Amino acid sequence: MKKTADVAILGGGILGVSTAFFLARHKPIRIVLFERDGLAQATTGLSVGGIRQQFSHPSNILLSQNTLAFFEFFQKEYGIPLCFHKVGYLFLAQKEDTWRDFLSSVQTQKRYNVPVEALLPDEIQRRWPYLNVADLRGGTFCPEDGYADPYEVTMAMAKIARQKGVNIFEQTEVTGVLVDKGKVSGVQTSRGDISVPIVINAAGPWSGNIGRMAGLHYPVFPYRRQVFVTKAFQEVAKPIPLILDFDSLFYFREEGPAILMGKSDPEEPSSFNVNVDRGFMETVIEAACHRAPILGSAKIAKSWGGLYTITPDENPIIGADPNIEGFYNAIGFSGHGFQHGPAVGQVLSDLIVHGSTAFDLTPFSSERFTKGPLHGEKRVV
């Protein structure tokens, strides 16, 4: 392994790979990426792949829009399809408060030119007759939202990053971050040590560990999320948007000939547990049968668990740590790190190379948790 580099990226999910991709455009930076497993095998490969502009926080709307623009650019520039399925996202509100909140978000989204519609239950019923709308106040729909395959996107970006000279070391665990007189000086790995003045913490649910290696403590906590996919089930008219029943935290979308569904459990404690809980599967099926009774005859074929990395305000931590020169973060992305990964990689690479970025990172600074106030993201399932 090389003994020196200019930048070391710790973690080979979408955040690490995307940052490597964008940094690699700035030759002659020597970039190394360390991944203890294979690329995109952890959270990124387990993601549902949703991409939406329907956020409450303006910065999150902008990040999604930047990622969508990047997808177009990438496909044209490199001729590799990223297969974005533009099926739309439908958010459903049951409670009056939720509906009011949705309508307030719609105002924000429209200021950013998101073509979002606020729909009353009758209209929802007309467009998606398989939904039970009896207990709904309304919903919001954006036809430009959809989903893509996070593994494919990450591997496509990694392929180009490698071509541009990034040294990606898989099966290589980072065991220490060396700091000398308040500055990053190196990284210890299972393959040996490397001298490097800049590290990027992109270790997803394990980013708290990487922080602690440098004596830094971030409020990032792992929480299990479970996903269930049915056997082929063609009874629901396509295209099926990604449908989010916000008050029950249940969602579903099409997955080839099948249906993919999931639900967050508000009682879930923070842990690294990714086992599937059969009892919880029943709760998910119940939520499915309530919102789309037709799903009652679908059979579950496979399931998995993955980890959200959650901060107290459900927004990520992006940028330079003020306490250690050369230590950068792209961590704490909750349920939207796949869609924000490409945009964040670009912002972070600009910050590292130019020392500043046009994108306002204030809402994502690590200092907000001590300085406050917190204005986080409300649309998280």
Ligand X SMILES: Cc1cc2nc3c(=O)[nH]c(=O)nc-3n(C[C@H](O)[C@H](O)[C@H](O)COP(=O)(O)OP(=O)(O)OC[C@H]3O[C@@H](n4cnc5c(N)ncnc54)[C@H](O)[C@@H]3O)c2cc1C
State in angstroms the smallest separation of the CB of 124 from ligand X: 21
Residue 120: CB minimum distance to ligand X, A: 26
Q: How far apart are the first and last CA of the chain?
A: 41
Instruction: Please say whether the beta carbons of 220 and 208 come within 8 A.
Output: yes
Of the candidates 202, 173, 176, the residue with the CA atom closest to the CA atom of residue 20 = 202
- Pick from 74, 206, 218, 252: which binds ligand X (CB under 6 A)? 206
In the bound state with ligand X, the residue whose beta carbon lies nearer, of 16 and 139, is: 16
142-181: which residues touch ligand X (CB under 6 A)? Answer: 173-174
Q: How far is the CB of 261 from ligand X (least distance, A)?
A: 11
* Nearest distance in Å: CB 56, ligand X: 15
Q: How far apart are CA 250 and CA 246, in angstroms?
A: 7
Kindly tell me which of 133 and 381 has the beta carbon lying closer to ligand X.
381
Instruction: Identify residue 121 by its one-letter amino acid code.
Output: P
One residue of 42, 61, 160, 295 binding ligand X per CB under 6 A = 42
Residue 101 is a binding residue for ligand X (CB under 6 A): no
Pick 49 or 121: Cβ nearer ligand X? 49
Which one of residues 57, 137, 225, 368 is an interface residue with ligand X (CB under 6 A)? Answer: 225
Cα torsion angle, 69, 58, 140, 265, sign:
positive
Piece of the chain touching ligand X by CB under 6 A; list 13-21, 85-93, 103-111, 180-188: 13-21
Q: Does 202 bind ligand X (CB under 6 A)?
A: yes
Which residue is it, tokens 């690329």?
39
Question: Would you give the distance in Å from CA 84 to the centre of its chain?
Answer: 15
DSSP H helices in the chain: 14-23, 43-46, 58-78, 96-111, 121-127, 150-163, 207-213, 278-291, 337-354, 368-371
Does residue 36 bind ligand X (CB under 6 A)?
yes
The answer to whether the peptide bond before residue 239 is cis (omega within 30 degrees of 0) is yes
Select from 5, 7, 15, 361 the one that contacts ligand X (CB under 6 A). 15
What's the Rg (C-alpha) of the chain? 21
**C-alpha dihedral, 370 to 373 to 377 to 380, nearest 10°:** 60
* Binding of ligand X by 46 (CB under 6 A): yes
Note whether 43 binds ligand X by CB under 6 A: yes
Our finding on whether 227 is near ligand X (CB under 6 A) is yes
Q: Can residue 201 be called a binding residue for ligand X (CB under 6 A)?
A: no
Nearer to ligand X, 47 or 105 (CB): 47
- Comparison of 272 and 297: residue with beta carbon closer to ligand X: 272
Measured at CB, which residue is nearest to ligand X? 337
- Distance, in Å, from the CA atom of 376 to the CA atom of 378, rounded to the nearest integer, reads 7
Residues that bind ligand X (CB under 6 A): 10-16, 34-37, 41-44, 46-50, 173-174, 202-206, 225, 227, 306-308, 333, 335-339
